[in-house]
Amino acid sequence: MTKLCTLPRALERFVKPGMHLCFASTPSRSNAAVRELARAFRGRKPEWTLSATGFHSALHVLARLRLGRRYVGCFFGDNYPTPRPNRLYAELLEEGFEVEHWSLWAYVSALAAGAFGHPYAFTRSLLGTSLGAALAERGQLFELPDPNEPAGRLGLLRALRPDITFLHAPVGDEDGNVALAPPLGEGVYGALAAQRGAIVTVERVVPREALQALPHFLPLPAHRVLAVCEEPFGAHPQPLHVAPAELAALEPGYGDDYAAYGYFRSLGEDAAAFAEFSQAVLEAGDGGAAYRSFFGPQLKSLRHLREPSDSPAPISAASLEATDHLLLLAGRALARRLVDGAHDCMLAGIGQAFAACRLAKQLLGPRGEPIEMMIETGFAGIDVEHSHPFLLSRENVATARRLTSIDNMLGALCCGAGGSCVGVIGAGQVDLEGNVNSSFSDGALLVGPGGAPDIAACASEVLVLTRADPRRMVRQVEYVTSLGHNVRTIVTEACVFERHGPSEPWLVRDVVPAHAARLKEVAASGFRFVMPGPPPVAEVPTHAELGMLARLRPSGGSGRSSKGWSHG
């Protein structure tokens, strides 16, 4: 019996109110399924539990319609061009909906436990954090004594078992076989854990003979697939990267629609924009056709990888902005820590953390060649000189030397026992103990943890980027998203703070005279530090460093920048 089905028909057959619906990131997501769920259930109250690694871009639509009762994820907001909150999720909290924060590796581990039939997954990331306390209060996290180490404690996460998981894949066939291309992001754990099975949207349906020749791209057995639904551009506005030549011959994939990311942000916050989208797409007779028409001819242009633009305009030391100083100090500090600690790899967080990692690799030159730069969603070894500033872009995936998954990059190489990794993360707030807050500020929702709690708790050492601002550098953070015991370096635009170990004093180095006055404000906030003798001034940037900084600027030779998008 064929498993080919239209997406509306699949939802009608399998999706019911009250279910737990999971949207897998492989790392493309079935945003077509998001659209059709919105079309089928708008105006109703299905009170679903909705889970995803990140609630951003198209997923705003389900939250905007209040179709979930409980939202489970690692990120809530917008991640392009940099991570930032979206007012939509603060509104959900105010209205009494559940917005449940998980760290990325904890979330994937809990799905894997569900897939393996285990009642719990282990975590080393959450005990002692406010994030962990909130999950414990919800009955999702338990703390037990370690039977092998009487003084130790174990963190156990309740396994996640959604009812239905949605995936997006390049191609599938009538038997339910679907081919997935690396990197695999969270992989197929959610689909294997799903109690009913998976609904998979694909770019195109191919003959079964085509997939019989590609068994190495079929990690999900057909018997776990409820339906295969053809949906061109089904991951839009996110990319679909298809690297292997034999799979790309069937479906070449496409890139990020950066302008549409901005448009979906507006849907979360602008009632008029959402009304326009609703009328044009959600109320149309054919949702897929209406969606592709709405976003217009630029969809075809996404088939082509953007080439790096010409060399950026030169900048001078006198023209450096605060962000330039922050990145320069961070790149230098990271390069130093990688060499001094003889580390094997670094894991780059999103935004400025990614830029700092790119700069460190360039500063190290041949010495840094053996040091792998990893991205938690499952790729490593990208072209750091010509990278796109958006960490997760298809342009960056396309230059990667290694494509794998979250459990490999974040789980084994950063959080595992065998490697020596420096984690690089940004912080909304950081305190004297190195604890990081990326969840709440003055009670207002920020963006959530992402993979930062896992990186902070488990990496060999951690470098944090933040601003020299008394609201950001404090005596004690109001909410502990990530533990600080492994934080050895805090970098700001004003200086670098370093310490030798937990509870050791923060020592100041590399002071930037243009921003030195901010250190008094930071000290007044309760963030104590030691500056023996005259302020140790940062070295003036070299000509080579200025060239690197120019490339790190958003339009600095890394591809076309996006000016925003509007319909019509």
| pLDDT, tens digit, 9 for 90 and up, residues 317-326 | 999 999 999 9
Lookup result for tokens 């100041």: 508
Rounded to whole angstroms, the Cα distance separating 520 from 528 reads 10
For residue range 65-89, what is the model confidence (pLDDT) as tens digits? 999 999 999 999 999 999 999 999 9
Residues 54 and 95 in one domain: yes
Instruction: With beta carbons less than 8 A apart as the criterion, state whether 332 and 364 touch.
Output: no
Domain that holds residue 78: 7-103+161-301
Residue 220 has pLDDT above 60, yes or no: yes
- Nearest Cα residue to 299 out of 235, 387, 204: 235
For residue range 359-415, what is the model confidence (pLDDT) as tens digits? 999 999 999 999 999 999 999 999 999 999 999 999 999 999 999 999 999 999 999
Rounded to whole angstroms, the Cα distance separating 140 from 142 reads 7
Residues 361 and 500 in one domain: yes
Q: Which residues contact 361 (CB under 8 A, 6 or more apart)?
A: 368, 371, 373, 384
Per DSSP, the three-state class of 547 is helix
The answer to whether position 112 is within a domain reads no
Please state the three-class secondary structure of 152-178 as a single string: EEEEEEECCCCCEEEEEEEEECCCCCE
Residues 86 and 22 in one domain: yes
- Nearest Cα residue to 257 out of 303, 289, 225: 303
According to DSSP, the residues that pair with 482 across neighbouring strands are 436
Residues 154 and 167 in one domain: no
pLDDT level of residue 558 (50, 70, 90 thresholds): very low
Phi, psi of 225 (to 5 degrees): -100, 125
Residues 260 and 198 in one domain: yes
Residues 287 and 252 in one domain: yes
Can you state the percent helix, strand and coil of the chain, rounding each to 5? 35, 20, 45
Residues 90 and 198 in one domain: yes
pTM of the shown model: 0.96
Instruction: With beta carbons less than 8 A apart as the criterion, state whether 358 and 350 touch.
Output: no
pLDDT at 304: 86
Residues 396 and 514 in one domain: yes
What single DSSP character describes residue 306? Answer: P
> 518 vs 250, 357, 469, 496, CA distance in Å?
56, 25, 7, 13
Work out the mean pLDDT of the chain and round it to a whole number: 94
* Burial track 242-265 (b if 16+ CB lie within 10 A, e otherwise): beeeebeebbebbbbbbbbbbbbb
pLDDT at 462: 98
Report the CATH number that the domain containing residue 360 is assigned in CATH.
3.40.1080.10
> 381 vs 142, 254, 400, 409, 499, CA distance in Å?
37, 21, 5, 12, 29
Residues 238 and 278 in one domain: yes
According to DSSP, the residues that pair with 440 across neighbouring strands are 445
The answer to whether position 440 is within a domain reads yes
The answer to whether position 503 is within a domain reads yes
pLDDT at 309: 66
The answer to whether position 66 is within a domain reads yes
Rounded to whole angstroms, the Cα distance separating 562 from 240 reads 19
Residues 395 and 544 in one domain: yes
Residue 199 has pLDDT above 90, yes or no: yes
Give 442 or 473, the one with higher predicted confidence: 473
pLDDT at 344: 95
According to DSSP, the residues that pair with 497 across neighbouring strands are 490, 508
Residues 57 and 198 in one domain: yes
> How many domains are contained in the chain?
3
The answer to whether position 35 is within a domain reads yes
Rounded to whole angstroms, the Cα distance separating 333 from 356 reads 9
Q: How many CB atoms lie within 10 A of CB 316?
A: 9
For residue range 491-510, what is the model confidence (pLDDT) as tens digits? 999 999 999 999 899 999 99
According to DSSP, the residues that pair with 49 across neighbouring strands are 20, 70
Q: Where are the alpha helices (DSSP H) in 412-517?
A: 452-458
The answer to whether position 38 is within a domain reads yes
Q: What percent of the chain clears pLDDT 70, i.e. is strictly above it? A: 97
For residue range 5-51, what is the model confidence (pLDDT) as tens digits? 999 999 999 999 999 999 999 999 999 999 999 999 999 999 999 99
Residues 201 and 330 in one domain: no
For residue range 14-24, what is the model confidence (pLDDT) as tens digits? 999 999 999 99
pLDDT at 563: 35
Maximum Cα interatomic distance, the chain, rounded to a whole number of Å: 79
The answer to whether position 526 is within a domain reads yes
Q: Where are the alpha helices (DSSP H) in 184-302?
A: 189-193, 208-212, 245-248, 258-269, 271-277, 287-295, 298-301
**Lowest mean per-residue pLDDT among 396-405, 482-491, 530-539:** 530-539
The answer to whether position 559 is within a domain reads no
User: What mean pLDDT comes out for the span 232-260?
Assistant: 96
